[in-house]
Amino acid sequence: MINATWVVLLFCISFDESSRPIVIAHRGASGYAVEHTESSKTLAHAQGADYIEQDVVLSKDRQFIVSHDITMEETTNVEERYPDRAREDGRYYFADFTWQEIQQLHTHERTKRGSDTPAIPGRFPGTAGQRVVRLSDEIALLKGLDATTGKNTGLYIELKSPKFHKKEFQTSMGEALLQLLEQYGIDGQSRKCFVQCFEPEELIDLHDRLHCKLPLIQLLGKKPSDDDVVNIARYAQGIGPSLEGLAIRTPSGDIESTGLVESAKKAGMQVHPYTVRKEMQPSWSTSMDETHRVLVDKLKVDGFFTDFPDLGRQAVDRNTGTQKE
């Protein structure tokens, strides 16, 4: 059962967003600029994202680094800069490098492991040559952008591989995150912030032991049962399923819900699916426009992750009748 505090908080979030789906910039405006860079986040802010995502990992000196991966070679020039620092598995881990060392690297568009081939071909060529950023850097960046534009852009932080980090550092990733956010006065109200994770144990610890006041989102790799949804609602305020698990296309061509959105809403949770991309659509959709229409009009999700925040913003405004002339 969801306690009264969370009901009030969720109501405030929904009210803040005028009951429209929130547009969440996936790793920033990553369809246009290298993921998790300052340019990607600045562009996402300019394109009207309601929330901007920060995947976080820990460095050797316990700095929160904004990165989707715990390893470095697919998004940085670490192999060139530190050729002898790989582990026995051939991978380079943020956990083995200090923040001072990480600052010597530059980022590039994500490549397939073991090659220079872009993970998503045709987006944009070459490298941005930008630095890796810390979570504290990004918080300062977005705070500054909000101050100059009058916006209140939310943070959407994903804890990456907490079990790995606990084994490496014998420390709670969630507890360290709350300590950092407290330094910046981020409480989920004056500064909007979600915390998400694939590992339920970490979210349960945040809820039960650490009494986290920020709304927690359980990321899902596969469609949960109704009993699973009820259990998740005990410690989380929402779910983050993949687009694939939300709907099906029938033989007659109609798109029908799998019931997951309805089940989650019945349990009092928000639904923030991932990820809308130009280059690939879920099996139930034939175009990006159709994906947007189903999410906003048919399924009525509470928000969605997108690599293209401008197109997500346009779709929400158009489909909810709030587009400016």
For every residue of 110-138, DSSP letters joined together read -B-TTSSSBSSTTS--S---PPP-BHHHH
- For the record, the structure tokens of 280 come out as 């690939």
Nearest to 77 by CA among 41, 127, 118, 137: 127
Strand partners, 217: 196, 238
The catalytically annotated residue of 68, 106, 108, 165 is: 68
Integer CA distances (angstroms), 153 to 52, 97, 169, 175, 238, in order: 7, 31, 32, 23, 19
Measured in whole angstroms, the distance separating CA 266 from the mean position of its chain's CA atoms is 24
Two tokens at 259?
Answer: 């019931």
Q: Which amino acid is at 111?
A: T
Q: Is 68 a catalytic residue?
A: yes
State yes or no: is 108 an active-site residue. no
| CB count in 10 Å sphere of residue 225 | 9
- The token duo for 150 is 């009058």
What's the CA gap between 9 and 250, in Å, rounded? 38
Q: Name the phi and psi angles at 9, rounded to 5.
A: -65, -45
Angle between helix 200-208 and helix 173-183 axes, rounded to 10 deg: 50
Kindly list the catalytic residues. 26, 68
